[in-house]
Amino acid sequence: MLNYLRHDGVSRIAGEVDAVFVFITLIGLFFFLITQGFLIYFALRYRKKKRGEETETPYITGNRWLETAWVVVPSLLILAIFIYGYLVFRDIRTPPAGAAEINVIVRQWLFEFRYPDGRRTINEVRVPVGKPVKFIMTSQDVIHGFYLPAFRVKQDILPGRYTHLWVQPEKTGRFDIYCTQYCGVGHSNMRAVMVVMGGEDYEHWAGLEEEMSTLPLAKRGEELVEHSGCLACHSLDGTVKVGPTLKGLYGRRVELADGTAAIADDTYIRESILEPNARIVKGFPPVMPTFKGTIKDDDITAIIAYIKTLK
Ligand SMILES: [Cu+2]
């Protein structure tokens, strides 16, 4: 949590947003100290007199200068806060011309990223450092959110509408993305990461994806499991995470929430990925997102082939 307190120069906008907050906080602090200072001073200065020491309260009808000042000064300050805030807001909302466009399609409970060249990734978006990127976002079901705390930017994602958000990362690294609208039981698992890569690394990665199809089936399945967000919820070593482990799953007898049981064969695993809520494993919450439309048919075959190797 604490590392979000400093923006560390990840982008120009992050610095601008922090500066607005510091500006507003300092004004607030200044008036807090003045008002509280006078409160304490007056409480002592005009405290109750001892018996017999009565003084008559002066009758004050007004003070034109004082009243003008306390109307004009706060008005100017609020105007300054508005104008400063508006200028930064305009900057946040206006992507520079020529920003690369990445489509973000979300649903309960995952982020899918689609690149201009047709590549897709799940819960992980890769962008080159130093270049502006515009995310064009829409939801397939309920309202979700897209929050990049390190970059100080946030935007709701709505069904049936497109919203956008842009960033220009100035530092390489991995940055968390959170869904910030309570979107159902799996909400707290709805996280993604933005990987900012150096220009050359990015070019290398962009060329990489194509080679996938020549890999052996199980190896390809392994890559898919690693890059589809499965490992956020499933372990490969037998430990229970949000969901059951994938180790030794193939051929296992699975107790289901409705009291029946199933054998984890090809059909069962396929259904688990495309329609996770059709059969729920006993003792687990129904939080797995569907990968229908995201993972292609032959890729599911590859994932099944990989799960078979996890003895
Ligand atoms: Cu969500």
Q: Is residue 47 over pLDDT 70?
A: yes
Rounded CA separation 257/236 (Å): 22
For residue 175, report the distance from its CA to the centre of ligand 1, in Å.
18
For residue 290, report the distance from its CA to the centre of ligand 1, in Å.
14
In a 10 Å sphere around its CB, with 0-12 CB exposed, 13-18 middle and 19+ buried, how is residue 229 labelled?
buried
Question: What average pLDDT is seen over the chain?
Answer: 89
pLDDT, average across residues 21-36: 95
Of all residues in the chain, the percent with pLDDT exceeding 70 is 96
Q: Is residue 103 over pLDDT 90?
A: yes
What CATH number does domain 100-210 carry, 3.40.50.800, 3.40.50.300, 3.30.1360.70, 2.60.40.420?
A: 2.60.40.420
pLDDT, average across residues 296-310: 91
Q: Report pLDDT for 5.
A: 63
For residue 182, report the distance from its CA to the centre of ligand 1, in Å.
6
For residue 108, report the distance from its CA to the centre of ligand 1, in Å.
6
Question: If pLDDT is split at 50, 70 and 90, which confidence band does 1 have?
Answer: very low
For residue 262, report the distance from its CA to the centre of ligand 1, in Å.
30
Q: Which of 38-42, 46-50, 123-127, 302-306 shows the lowest per-residue confidence on average (mean pLDDT)?
A: 46-50
Specify the 3-state DSSP secondary structure of 255: strand
For residue 197, report the distance from its CA to the centre of ligand 1, in Å.
26
Q: Report pLDDT for 2.
A: 46
Which residue is listed with tokens 């003045």? 34
For residue 28, report the distance from its CA to the centre of ligand 1, in Å.
34
Q: Is residue 228 over pLDDT 90?
A: no
> HSE of 17 in the Cβ direction (CA atoms, 13 Å)?
24
For residue 139, report the distance from its CA to the centre of ligand 1, in Å.
9
Q: Say yes or no: domain 215-309 is CATH 1.10.1740.10.
A: no
Of all residues in the chain, the percent with pLDDT exceeding 90 is 67
Q: Mind listing the pLDDT tens digit for each residue in 233-267?
A: 899 999 998 899 999 999 999 999 999 999 999 99
For residue 166, report the distance from its CA to the centre of ligand 1, in Å.
19
Rounded CA separation 134/97 (Å): 10
Q: Find all residues with CB under 8 Å of 244, minimum gap 6, and list them.
A: 234, 254, 281, 284
Could you say which DSSP state residue 281 is in?
B
Class (C level, CATH) for 2-46+62-92: mainly alpha
For residue 305, report the distance from its CA to the centre of ligand 1, in Å.
31
pLDDT, average across residues 91-98: 91
Q: Report pLDDT for 23.
A: 94
Q: Report pLDDT for 140.
A: 92
- In this structure, are strands 144-148 and 163-167 parallel, antiparallel, or unpaired? unpaired
For residue 180, report the distance from its CA to the centre of ligand 1, in Å.
7
For residue 31, report the distance from its CA to the centre of ligand 1, in Å.
39
For residue 111, report the distance from its CA to the centre of ligand 1, in Å.
9
The domains of the chain are located at 2-46+62-92, 100-210, 215-309
For residue 204, report the distance from its CA to the centre of ligand 1, in Å.
31
> Is pTM beyond 0.85 here?
no
CA-based torsion, 245, 246, 247, 250: positive or negative? positive
pLDDT, average across residues 158-184: 94
For residue 100, report the distance from its CA to the centre of ligand 1, in Å.
24
Rounded CA separation 116/135 (Å): 11
For residue 183, report the distance from its CA to the centre of ligand 1, in Å.
5
Q: Mind listing the pLDDT tens digit for each residue in 281-292?
A: 999 988 898 888
For residue 306, report the distance from its CA to the centre of ligand 1, in Å.
29
For residue 114, report the distance from its CA to the centre of ligand 1, in Å.
18
Of 170, 166, 10, 169, which Cα lies nearest the Cα of 91?
A: 166
For residue 143, report the distance from its CA to the centre of ligand 1, in Å.
7
Specify the 3-state DSSP secondary structure of 192: strand
Of 109, 97, 108, 187, which Cα lies nearest the Cα of 134?
A: 97
